Amino acid sequence: MMPEETAAVLAKCASVDLRTVGRSDVLAWHELIGELDFPTALEAVRRWYSINRDRIMPSDVLALADEIRREKIRRDDHRRALESARPAELPLKDRSQEIQDFVQSIRDVLPKGDPDSLRYGHRYWREIREARERAATAEPNPHYDPGALAKLAEMAPPPPPSPEGEPHVTTTQPSEKVDD
């Protein structure tokens, strides 16, 4: 890491804990954490202040950077192990004729499967996509009449009169005003 990058790490610290950073601070910190790479040092500061209220010190940055390196090594080892466990060719080409016949007989007996059902969430998104496609190609109902409801309301008989002393309740449209 260059001294300018060490200054940027300290500036990130100062933006959280309000410390003052001078040239001597940058040089002292650079002497202690200068071997780290810049992104790792910034990630160490971010991790520190996400869980601590105290000021970060160079030893804290070094400890967190070491933890970050170990995590990266574990991830890389895991990725390499997964990649090496994959067969070189899929499907296998060196099956005997007997095995190939057996596999084909099993395939003939089993119903055709839906590979999308094996993918998490894929079925949901397929249903959404199909609904959108149906809506895009749909035609309006030729029997739908938007004024039919208003015509039915006009044809309905008036409500029966209410007994004396009880208020008369009617249903009105929001735009109409009812006089009491």
- pLDDT for 163 equals 67
Higher pLDDT, residue 18 or 112: 18
Q: What's the half-sphere exposure (Cβ side, CA atoms, 13 Å) at 153? A: 9
Q: How buried is 179 (Cβ within 10 angstroms: 0-12 exposed, 13-18 middle, 19+ buried)?
A: exposed
- Total-model pTM: 0.47
For residue 25, give the H/E element and its range. helix 23-33
| CB burial string 13-24: b at 16+ within 10 A, e below | beebeeeeeeee
Task: Tell me the one-letter amino acid at 79.
Answer: R
Q: Are 1 and 33 in contact (CB under 8 A)?
A: yes
Q: In whole angstroms, what is the distance from residue 89 CA to residue 126 CA?
A: 30
Residue 178, SS3 per DSSP:
coil
Q: Are 42 and 65 in contact (CB under 8 A)?
A: no
Q: Which segment of 85-99, 120-134, 136-150, 154-168 scores lowest on mean pLDDT? A: 85-99
Token pair for 89: 């060719």
Confidence of residue 87 (pLDDT cuts 50, 70, 90): low
